[in-house]
Chain A
C-alpha cells in the first residue's frame, strides 16, 4: 500500500502538464465553463485534444482511447483542473460514446465515434421529461414505426446546451403495452436538424440559459439510428448513467476551488484581519478540505478497483453524493466569503467596455450565480436520493 506516484507516473504528469501549458487555448481560460460563452470556446480544448488523441482517455484503445491507467486519468484531471480547463462536454465523450461503442452497430460506430473524438459534433441528452424526472422510466415520448422510420412525438426537458447541439440521443417509448415501464423503451440517435424539433431555452435561477425544453413533433428518424435492440433501451440508459456518475465527483475541480476560496478569504477582511484567520470561517474551510480528502481517497480506491478490472459499480453513487455535496458547500462558502459583493446581479450590469468603475472584486462576479447553479448537481444524473436508493438495493441488499 502506498500513495506515491511511480517514476513513470511522475514522467507522465510532467508530460501532460507541459502539453497543457503549451496548448490550452487562451480564449477559454478563466473561471471555467459558463453557458454565456461563445460555443467555439466551449469546444476549443476538445478539438485540440482530439487532434492529439487525448479527448477520450477512458475509451477502449480500439475506439480511440489512450490506454491510460486509472491513475494516469486521475493525474490528467488534476493537471487540467490546475488551469481550470473547460473539458470536453460529457454528452458525447462520457455518455453516448460508450453506449455506441458497446452496443452500437458497426455503421453507427463509424459514423459517430470520430465526430465525438474530434469535438466536431456536439451532442445533447434527451432523457428527462416534464413528467419523468427521477422516475425516468415513466417517460411518454413515443417513437412509432412507419416503414424504415420511427416517428417521434413528445417533449424532453433539461436538454443541456441543446441550443448548440448537432445530434441528440433520446429515450423513446416504442412499446406502449409493455408489462413494466422499464420495458418498451428504445435508445435513438437523432440529427437535431431534422424537421419537427424545436429547442426552447429555459432561464434558470442563476440568470443563465444552459438547459432547454426540446419539443419533438412528427420527427422522422431512420430505424438504423436506434442503438441496440428495440425495447431494450433501458439497459443502455442505465449503463450510460453509471458511466456518467463515475466522473461526477469532480474532485480535482473542487480542490482547485478550495484553493481559490482560500485566496478569496485571504483578500477579504473581518475585524481588520484576513477572513481566513477568523476561526469560525477557517473551521468551515478545514471541514470542507477534510471531507474532500476523504472523497479523493475514496475515488482513488474506486479507480484502483477499476484498474483491477472492476467496472464502475454502485460505489460510484457514493462518489456522486459526496462529490456534489462538496461542490455545493464549496460554492456556498465562496458566496459567504465575498460578503456584500455577492449581492449585485452582475449579468444585468453591462460594464464591459464601459468607462464605469467595475463593481466589486473580480472573484465576486460569479459567486452567487455559481452557487445558485450548483444546486443542480444533487438533482441531475439521478438525484442524490435516487443514488441512495441504488446503494440501498445494490450494496445494503434491502
Chain B
C-alpha cells in the first residue's frame, strides 16, 4: 500500500502547476473562453511539448509509459486552474479507445497525432433521448461495401468545435438499449455529411450538436470488434470518470481555499465573517467533503486495472461521492461569498459552475448509485 507519487510524477505535477499558475490566471482564462475560438491552442501545444499528452501511452505507441495516475495528476491541476483544453476527450477517451482496442495502424496514426498535439478528438456518445445509457442509441452505422454509413444526432459533444476527429458510438445491429450491437468509429470532422452546431457551455467550454447525415467511412474507421464495443466504452468512460474526479478535486480545493480566504477578509457586524462559528463549521464540512473526494479519486484511479466488477463499483462509488461533494462545496462557496458569489467577476462562480456540470458527465449521482446497487446486490 503506497500513497506516494514517484519522482517523475512529482516533476510532472510541479511543471504543470507552474504552467497553470503562470499562463492560466483567471483573467486570461476569462478572455479565452469569451474569445471566438473559446480555447488556447498554444496551451495545447505547450502541453504536447512538455510530453503531457503522451503520458498514458506505451512507449511502443509513442508515449511515455505512464497510466491513469498520470492523468489523475494532470486533471487535478487542470481543475485547480479550470483549464478548458480537452485532455479528457482527446487523451483519456479517444486515446483510451485506441490504446485498448486499436489496430497497429490505428495506434500509429491516431496516438501519434494525440501525443504530438496535432490532432484533437471529441467523444460523441450522448444522444438527445439516451440519457446516461451508452447502449441507448438511435444513431446507426450500416455496412456498405467495405465500410459503413452513419446516420444520427449526437448531443452535447464536448470539445467538438476544437476537434479534428470525432469518436462516435453507433448501433450496427440489435434494438435500442441492447448491450450487443454497439460499435465505435473514428470520423474526421471534415467528412461529408458531418454537420455541427457549435455553442459555449455554462462551465466555460465549447460543445456541438453533431448531425451525421449519410457519413461514409471506410472499414478502418471501426475501433475494436463490430457490435461488441459496450464493455470497451464502459472501461474507457470509467477511466474518464476517474480523471474527471481528479479535476473536480482540484476545483473543490481551490473553491474551498477561496472561501476560507474570503471569510477572513469580509467583515460584517464589525468582524471578519470567518470568526462566526456557524460559518466555520460549514467550511470544515466543505474541507471534509474535499478530503473524502481525494480519497475516492485515489480509490477509483487505483482500481481501474482490477476486474470489471471491482472497477465499476469503485468508479461508481467515486462518482456518487464526488458528485455530492461537488454540489455541496460549490453551493456553500457561493453562499459564504454572499452577493459577491453571484457575480461573474469573481472566480468562485466559475468554479461553482464547473463543479455543477461535473455531476452530469458520464452518468450522474442517481445513475451511478443504481449501478452500485446492482453490482453490490450479489455480495
Contact partners of B299 in chain A: CB under 8 A: 3, 293-294, 297
- Give min CB distance, B246 to chain A, whole Å: 12
List the A residue with the shortest CB-CB distance to B374.
Answer: A282
Contact partners of A289 in chain B: CB under 8 A: 317, 372, 376
List the B residue with the shortest CB-CB distance to A281.
Answer: B373
Contact partners of A330 in chain B: CB under 8 A: none
Say which one of A223-231, A334-342, A389-397 lies at the interface with B.
A389-397
Q: A295-B292, A396-B260 are in contact. Are A300 and B321 (CB under 8 A)?
A: no
Number of interface residues of B (CB under 8 A): 40
Decide: B303 and A3 in contact? CB cutoff 8 A: yes
List the B residue with the shortest CB-CB distance to A291.
Answer: B321
**Chain A interface, >50% SS class:** helix
Decide: A262 and B2 in contact? CB cutoff 8 A: no
Q: A297-B295, A297-B296 are in contact. Are A304 and B2 (CB under 8 A)?
A: yes
Decide: B373 and A279 in contact? CB cutoff 8 A: yes
Query: A205 CA to B69 CA in the complex, in Å?
Result: 49
Q: A291-B321, A398-B274 are in contact. Are A2 and B1 (CB under 8 A)?
A: yes
Decide: A1 and B4 in contact? CB cutoff 8 A: yes
Any B CB within 8 A of the CB of A277: yes
Interface residues of B in 68-109 (CB under 8 A from A): 69
Query: A322 CA to B296 CA in the complex, in Å?
Result: 14
Contacting residue for A283 out of B296, B314, B373, CB 8 A: B373
Query: A301 CA to B292 CA in the complex, in Å?
Result: 11
Query: A398 CA to B282 CA in the complex, in Å?
Result: 13
Any B CB within 8 A of the CB of A318: yes
Decide: A290 and B320 in contact? CB cutoff 8 A: yes
Any A CB within 8 A of the CB of B275: yes
- Give min CB distance, A251 to chain B, whole Å: 12
Any B CB within 8 A of the CB of A321: yes
List the A residue with the shortest CB-CB distance to B72.
Answer: A1
- Give min CB distance, A256 to chain B, whole Å: 14
Contacting residue for B369 out of A3, A283, A389, A392, CB 8 A: A283
Any A CB within 8 A of the CB of B190: no
List the B residue with the shortest CB-CB distance to A69.
Answer: B1
Interface residues of B in 352-379 (CB under 8 A from A): 369, 372-373, 376-377, 379
Query: A33 CA to B62 CA in the complex, in Å?
Result: 59
Range class of the A interface residue count: 35 or more
Q: A289-B317, A293-B317 are in contact. Are A398 and B3 (CB under 8 A)?
A: no
Query: A200 CA to B300 CA in the complex, in Å?
Result: 51
Contact partners of B285 in chain A: CB under 8 A: 388
Any B CB within 8 A of the CB of A343: no
Query: A78 CA to B77 CA in the complex, in Å?
Result: 35
Decide: B303 and A298 in contact? CB cutoff 8 A: no
Contacting residue for B280 out of A3, A5, A392, CB 8 A: A392
Decide: A298 and B295 in contact? CB cutoff 8 A: yes
Decide: A396 and B284 in contact? CB cutoff 8 A: yes
Any A CB within 8 A of the CB of B194: no
Any A CB within 8 A of the CB of B64: no
Any A CB within 8 A of the CB of B197: no
Query: A391 CA to B281 CA in the complex, in Å?
Result: 9
Decide: A286 and B372 in contact? CB cutoff 8 A: yes
Decide: A2 and B2 in contact? CB cutoff 8 A: yes
Contact partners of B283 in chain A: CB under 8 A: 392, 396, 398
- Give min CB distance, A366 to chain B, whole Å: 23
Decide: A287 and B281 in contact? CB cutoff 8 A: no
Query: A334 CA to B69 CA in the complex, in Å?
Result: 38
Query: A127 CA to B69 CA in the complex, in Å?
Result: 46
Q: A1-B5, A2-B1, A2-B302 are in contact. Are A318 and B369 (CB under 8 A)?
A: no
Query: A276 CA to B374 CA in the complex, in Å?
Result: 11
Decide: B2 and A396 in contact? CB cutoff 8 A: no
Any A CB within 8 A of the CB of B263: yes
Contact partners of B284 in chain A: CB under 8 A: 388, 391-392, 395-396
Decide: A290 and B372 in contact? CB cutoff 8 A: yes
Contact partners of B264 in chain A: CB under 8 A: 398
Q: A398-B264, A398-B283 are in contact. Are A300 and B296 (CB under 8 A)?
A: no
Q: A286-B369, A396-B260, A398-B264 are in contact. Are A294 and B292 (CB under 8 A)?
A: yes
List the B residue with the shortest CB-CB distance to A390.
Answer: B284
List the A residue with the shortest CB-CB distance to B73.
Answer: A1
Contact partners of B373 in chain A: CB under 8 A: 279, 282-283, 286
Interface residues of B (CB under 8 A from A): 1-5, 69, 260, 263-264, 274-275, 277, 280-281, 283-285, 287-288, 291-296, 298-299, 301-303, 314, 317, 320-321, 369, 372-373, 376-377, 379
Query: What are 18 inter-chain pairs, A to B, with CB distance below 8 A?
Result: A3-B1, A3-B298, A6-B1, A9-B1, A282-B377, A287-B320, A289-B376, A295-B292, A301-B298, A304-B1, A304-B2, A321-B288, A322-B292, A392-B280, A392-B281, A392-B284, A396-B274, A398-B260
